[in-house]
């Protein structure tokens, strides 16, 4: 049964919230709108917008509404920027923190250098694209307005490769990354590679010189060139399918903010360092100790460090910082710390930093909630939260990055 409701606010995932006659979350609805919905538990399916907000705009992507990747394309620029900034402000406020929060740093369309695609069998067909919102269903795509052109131009070729390698029962996952030397294509959960399948996949990789490397379930099938990522003029060998900041411009801005804050430091610990996106930038001016659990990422950092010139001393340690954070005693030799953890945050490490005498701390986060929790730990330990800068790295989604700066 349909009903008409008034939208009062936006939730943290960008859904409209109507509170009367009872609370319901309505995807793609905006504050100030009157909409007709069909209620499905606590969520409402939007049937029509009866009175539109002046902040509403036409979504530019033909897949909007089905593809789960971009859920905020219907927001005008002003509301979009305020919404993402408020995600950070509100998370900090819930922890009793009210620092200076800068305006949202913008992100351009067509700039995401890493995309993760999924393919599934649907009877005789193979569906290739992105997951729908809150669903295991796949939304097939023909374009993507956030990915770099080198990836978008080859969507049909990626679909052909997925169709070739897909398992009969499992979802296939394909991570495509634009590197300095070409595309890194890493596929997981494929069918068992027969000799024929292997040769077909190799032929696929060989026919397009834009492909630097093709790997399947960790095995490199073809490497036309070693994929590398440029970090402050240092060529870092890129581990197949590895994590990196999705937008190079966002990474540069995060580094710029953090490094300016840590400039007075002589020795810096870079925690959750990955393959060194911040380590190598820091090493231009500081002695750096880099800690990370991912062995291939650390191996890439070590190789890049050895080949680079003009760097200050860099030491590398493989360490599970969730289970065994650097202790306050170990941190005594540093006057600066940068940490960039996964979405779960760095609670255990934050407690050790809070107990240390480190003078300056920069925290990079993809989750405002865990950032706020970790920030509260540092503040309770005697740090002052100077300012926080939200950075839009995942355009038109409800995800937001942030850099927080602390001083003891």
Which residue positions in the chain have pLDDT lower than 50?
Answer: none
* DSSP states along 328-364: TTGGGG-SEEEE---TT--HHHHHHHHTS--SEEEEE
Any bridge partners for residue 405, and if so which? 362, 387
* Residue 268 Cα distances to 23, 303, 305, 340, 397, angstroms: 48, 20, 16, 13, 33
**Parts of the chain belonging to CATH 2.40.50.1070:** 114-229
360 Cβ neighbours under 8 A, 6+ residues apart? 261, 262, 264, 265, 335, 336, 337, 405, 406, 407, 408
Catalytic residues: 366
CA 138 to mean position of chain CA atoms: 20
> Cα(39)–Cα(45) distance, rounded to whole angstroms?
6
pLDDT (0 to 100) of residue 241: 86
Fold exhibited by the domain 82-108+244-407: Rossmann fold (3.40.50)
> Cα(263)–Cα(69) distance, rounded to whole angstroms?
37
Candidates 3.20.20.150, 3.30.360.10, 2.40.50.140, 1.10.10.10; CATH matching 2-56:
2.40.50.140
pLDDT, tens only, 275-301: 999 999 999 999 999 999 999 999 999
**Parts of the chain belonging to CATH 2.40.50.140:** 2-56
pLDDT (0 to 100) of residue 123: 86
Does 292 show up as a binding residue in the annotation? Answer: yes
Does 272 show up as a binding residue in the annotation? Answer: yes
pLDDT (0 to 100) of residue 198: 94
Q: Do the Cβ atoms of 377 and 349 come closer than 8 Å? A: no
CATH class of domain segment(s) 114-229: mainly beta
pLDDT, tens only, 45-84: 999 999 999 999 999 999 999 998 899 999 999 999 999 9
**Parts of the chain belonging to CATH 3.40.50.150:** 82-108+244-407
């Amino acid at each position: 049964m349909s009903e008409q409701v008034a939208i009062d606010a936006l939730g943290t995932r960008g859904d409209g919230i109507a509170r009367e006659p009872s609370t319901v979350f309505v995807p793609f609805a905006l504050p100030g709108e009157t909409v007709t919905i069909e209620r499905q538990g606590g969520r409402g399916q939007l049937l029509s917008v009866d009175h539109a907000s002046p902040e509403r705009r036409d979504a530019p992507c033909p897949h909007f509404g089905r593809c789960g990747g971009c859920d905020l394309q219907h927001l005008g620029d002003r509301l979009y920027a305020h919404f993402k900034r408020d995600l950070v402000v509100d998370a900090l406020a819930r922890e009793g923190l009210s620092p200076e929060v800068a305006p949202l740093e913008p992100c351009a369309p067509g700039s995401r250098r890493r995309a993760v695609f999924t393919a599934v069998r649907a009877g005789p067909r193979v569906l290739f694209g992105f997951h729908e919102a809150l669903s295991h269903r796949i939304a097939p795509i023909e374009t993507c307005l956030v990915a770099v052109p080198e990836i978008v131009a080859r969507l049909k070729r990626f679909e052909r490769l997925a169709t070739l390698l897909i398992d009969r029962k499992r979802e296939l996952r394909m991570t495509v990354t634009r590197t300095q030397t070409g595309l890194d294509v890493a596929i997981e959960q494929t069918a068992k590679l027969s000799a024929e399948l292997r040769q077909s996949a190799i032929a696929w990789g060989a026919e397009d010189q834009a492909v630097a490397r093709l790997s399947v379930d960790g095995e490199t099938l073809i490497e036309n060139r070693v994929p590398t990522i440029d970090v402050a003029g240092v060529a870092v060998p890129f581990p197949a399918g590895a994590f990196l900041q999705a937008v190079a411009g966002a990474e540069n801005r995060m580094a710029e903010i953090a490094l300016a804050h840590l400039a007075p430091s002589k020795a810096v610990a870079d925690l959750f360092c990955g393959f060194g996106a911040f380590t190598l930038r820091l090493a231009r001016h500081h002695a750096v100790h880099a800690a990370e659990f991912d062995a291939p990422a650390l191996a890439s950092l070590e190789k890049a460090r050895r080949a680079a010139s003009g760097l200050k001393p860099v030491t590398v340690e493989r360490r599970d910082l969730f289970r065994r954070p650097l202790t306050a005693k170990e941190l005594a030799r540093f006057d600066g710390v940068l940490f960039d953890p996964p979405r779960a945050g760095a609670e255990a490490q934050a407690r050790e930093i809070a107990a240390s005498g480190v003078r300056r701390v920069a925290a990079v986060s993809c989750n405002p909630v865990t950032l706020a929790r970790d920030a509260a730990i540092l503040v309770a330990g005697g740090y002052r939260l100077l300012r926080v800068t939200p950075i839009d790295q995942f355009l038109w989604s409800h995800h937001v990055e942030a850099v927080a700066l602390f001083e003891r």
